[in-house]
């Protein structure tokens, strides 16, 4: 029986993970859950999965949750950043699913690694912000970081059983998002609702916007660099609108391995929880006859400059990826509040990166400070634009 903690249980990945767990009660047991503000859903999850501890965003939520729970329920309710760290390091867990969205996932994931837990990593920002620190720490602790991000899970699966020195190149696939066939001019006029309509994957709002701008793929390039210890120059991105091939690896002998499947996050989640084993699931089979064509295109970085900006920040390294990510989080949030246009996203992020003084080989504190600095600068730039 594998004991599981989920950080971010009410988000898209958390809900899918609980679905996998619910269908395999003989394999998995939930011991701890954390959520942000969705107390109603968390309460339902507590009643169904009976964890021993939970954490919520703040004290008010903790009080409210306690009041609504059955008095007989002896569950411990933590709150705030400290509470989240407590949950992440909860001794009973074997594996922690890191599924909080954004840079907020970094500190609790590090707390879980420090506590010696294996990580099923859905929070790509952990690697984007602190890839080097996290890699060194996971080696020291002897824990496994198993990717949940579908592309990285694909690469992880393709690399199974092969020697790392035989890997020549990683090819990340990207659906291209809802604006793949839009012209540059059409992209200038897109609305929030259009950006939120992803053609293939059902995900949280932030990542859906990032997929539309292709920033998500840029962040995934940096994530892949650290997860698989490759240079960014050896990571390619191809547009694959069908989202059937989840990524590809190229070996030195010219052999390519790809991982395919229906686009459903429950597959990489289940694999991360059972690796190196596989378990049955009831998803519809992949119908290749119906799919007919598997297409691959070169991404257009003129239409989607975020991909190029992210790649450059990844090559630069140091605190640049943290600044890239923070600027993107703030800019996407402004776009969701309809303060800026979709096409402003890359311009704003680039401006912040240009004025940032990169710190190389940063400490965790340097990274956190760079993240905070970038948030303030991005807000200033947006304010000036809105005025």
C-beta closer to Mg ion: residue 125 or 149: 149
Q: How far apart are CA 74 and CA 90, in angstroms?
A: 16
Q: How far apart are CA 363 and CA 365, in angstroms?
A: 5
- The CA dihedral of 65, 66, 70, 76, to the nearest 10 degrees, is 110
Q: Closest distance between Mg ion and the C-beta of residue 13, in Å?
A: 11
Q: Is the peptide bond before 290 cis (omega within 30 degrees of 0)?
A: no
Q: How far apart are CA 12 and CA 27, in angstroms?
A: 22
* Cβ contacts of 292 within 8 Å, gap of 6 or more: none
Q: Binding pattern to Mg ion, positions 141-170, x when CB under 5 A?
A: --------xxx-------------------
Residues in contact with Mg ion, counted by CB under 5 A, come to a total of 3
Q: Closest distance between Mg ion and the C-beta of residue 321, in Å?
A: 16
C-beta closer to Mg ion: residue 95 or 215: 215
Task: Answer yes or no: are the C-beta atoms of 103 and 125 closer than 8 Å.
Answer: yes
Q: Is the peptide bond before 276 cis (omega within 30 degrees of 0)?
A: yes
Q: Closest distance between Mg ion and the C-beta of residue 194, in Å?
A: 20
Q: How far apart are CA 343 and CA 354, in angstroms?
A: 18
Q: Closest distance between Mg ion and the C-beta of residue 362, in Å?
A: 25
Q: Which residue is nearest to Mg ion (CB)?
A: 149
Q: Closest distance between Mg ion and the C-beta of residue 211, in Å?
A: 8
Query: Is there binding between residue 125 and Mg ion (CB under 5 A)?
Result: no
Q: Closest distance between Mg ion and the C-beta of residue 152, in Å?
A: 7
Q: How far apart are CA 307 and CA 315, in angstroms?
A: 12
Q: What is the DSSP letter of 105?
A: G
Binding region for Mg ion (CB under 5 A): 149-151
């Amino acid at each position: 029986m594998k004991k599981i903690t989920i950080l971010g249980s009410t988000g898209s990945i958390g809900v899918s993970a609980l679905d996998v767990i619910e269908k395999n009660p003989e394999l998995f047991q939930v011991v701890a859950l954390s959520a942000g503000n969705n107390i109603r859903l968390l309460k339902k999850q507590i009643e169904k999965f009976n964890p021993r501890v939970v954490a919520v965003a703040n004290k008010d939520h903790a009080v409210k949750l306690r009041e609504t729970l059955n008095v007989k329920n002896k569950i411990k309710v933590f709150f705030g950043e400290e509470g989240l760290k407590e949950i992440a390091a909860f001794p009973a867990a074997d594996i922690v699913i890191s599924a909080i969205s954004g840079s907020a996932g970094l500190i609790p994931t590090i707390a879980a690694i420090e506590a010696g837990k294996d990580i099923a990593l859905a929070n790509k920002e952990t690697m984007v912000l602190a890839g080097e620190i996290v890699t060194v720490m996971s080696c020291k602790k002897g824990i496994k970081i198993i990717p949940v991000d579908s592309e990285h899970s694909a690469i992880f699966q393709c690399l199974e059983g092969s020697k790392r020195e035989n890997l020549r190149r990683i090819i990340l696939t990207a659906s291209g998002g809802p604006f793949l066939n839009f012209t540059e001019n059409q992209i200038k006029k897109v609305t929030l609702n259009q950006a939120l309509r992803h053609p293939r994957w059902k995900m949280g709002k932030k990542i859906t916007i990032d997929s539309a701008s292709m920033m998500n793929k840029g962040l995934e390039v940096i994530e892949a660099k650290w997860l698989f210890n490759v240079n960014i120059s050896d990571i390619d991105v191809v547009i694959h609108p069908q989202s059937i091939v989840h990524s590809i690896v190229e070996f030195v002998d010219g052999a390519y391995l790809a991982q395919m499947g229906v686009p459903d996050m429950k597959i990489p989640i289940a694999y991360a929880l059972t690796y190196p084993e596989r378990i049955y699931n009831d998803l519809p089979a992949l119908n290749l006859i119906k799919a007919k064509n598997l297409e691959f295109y070169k991404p257009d970085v003129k239409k989607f400059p975020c991909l190029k900006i992210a790649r450059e920040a990844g090559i630069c390294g140091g605190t640049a990826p943290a600044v890239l990510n923070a600027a993107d989080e703030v800019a996407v949030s402004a776009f969701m509040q309809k303060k800026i246009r979709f096409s402003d996203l890359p311009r704003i992020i680039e401006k912040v990166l240009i004025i940032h003084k990169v710190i190389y080989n940063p400490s965790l504190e340097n990274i956190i400070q760079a993240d905070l600095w970038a948030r303030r600068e991005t807000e200033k730039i947006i304010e000036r634009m809105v005025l």
